């Protein structure tokens, strides 16, 4: 019985192969084998193809080397009353998510610590979260103010902000950071962000 099944399968397979061989054309009508397969008369084109392929491979390599950004960098400023550290990328790509971390360390007691951020932090950016939530938020002549509240001497306040770059956002934006204690200006950090398409 097993031999009969094998014979039927073999016959069916052989008839399928013979039908398949008859239905395949030797070569497509628009293909010239000498020109398209053997590249006769097209010897210089191979270097153009290799060059274009090399450029294609170069883009991921540049991204791995952080040319297009998103790797965070740290900026630090110190004054008599406090230190501020901003840890955020200076170059990003459209559509990506990124995080900014602000560390405010009080060298002396700060009764009403307030971070003031340039409009570039929010311009064509979607602010997803701020953790921990500031005591108060406001606007100072178009700049975002985040009141952190009381910070005892020798202690730090960490603030995390998560953003997403809007897909139409391209170019350089100023992202300066200022620290106030009430009305008293303590320090300034000059920074910017570059958004690639």
For the stretch 119-145, pLDDT in tens is 999 998 999 999 999 999 999 888 999
Q: Which domain holds residue 101?
A: 72-196
Judgement on whether residues 188 and 112 belong to the same structural domain of the protein: yes
Residue with the bigger pLDDT between 11 and 73: it is 73
- Residue 157: give its domain's CATH number: 2.60.40.3670
Q: What's the mean per-residue pLDDT of the chain? A: 85
The overall pTM is greater than 0.85: no
Judgement on whether residues 180 and 143 belong to the same structural domain of the protein: yes
Judgement on whether residues 29 and 56 belong to the same structural domain of the protein: yes
- Cβ proximity of 118 and 143 under 8 Å: yes
Integer Cα distance of 160 and 86 in angstroms: 10
Residue 7 lies in a domain: no
Judgement on whether residues 47 and 101 belong to the same structural domain of the protein: no
Residue 10 lies in a domain: no
Q: What band does 177 get if pLDDT is binned at 50, 70 and 90?
A: very high
Integer Cα distance of 72 and 193 in angstroms: 11
Overall number of domains in the chain: 2
Integer Cα distance of 160 and 146 in angstroms: 12
């Amino acid at each position: 019985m097993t031999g009969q099944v094998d014979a039927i399968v073999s016959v069916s397979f052989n008839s399928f192969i013979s039908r398949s061989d008859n239905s395949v054309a030797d070569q497509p009508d628009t293909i010239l084998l000498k020109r398209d397969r053997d590249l006769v008369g097209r010897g210089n084109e191979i270097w153009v193809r290799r060059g274009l392929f090399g450029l294609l491979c170069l883009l991921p390599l540049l991204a791995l080397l952080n040319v297009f950004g998103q790797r965070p960098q740290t900026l630090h400023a110190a004054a008599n009353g406090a230190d501020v550290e901003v840890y955020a990328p200076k170059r990003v790509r459209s559509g990506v998510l990124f995080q900014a971390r602000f560390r405010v360390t009080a060298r002396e007691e700060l009764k009403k610590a307030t971070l003031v951020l340039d409009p570039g932090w929010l311009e064509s950016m979607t602010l997803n979260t701020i953790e921990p939530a500031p005591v108060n938020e406001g606007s100072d002549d178009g700049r975002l103010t985040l009141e952190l509240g009381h910070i005892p001497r020798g202690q730090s306040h960490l603030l995390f902000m998560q953003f997403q770059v809007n897909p139409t956002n391209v170019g350089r934006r100023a992202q300066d950071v200022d620290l106030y204690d009430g009305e008293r200006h303590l320090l300034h950090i000059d920074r910017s962000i570059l958004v690639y398409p």
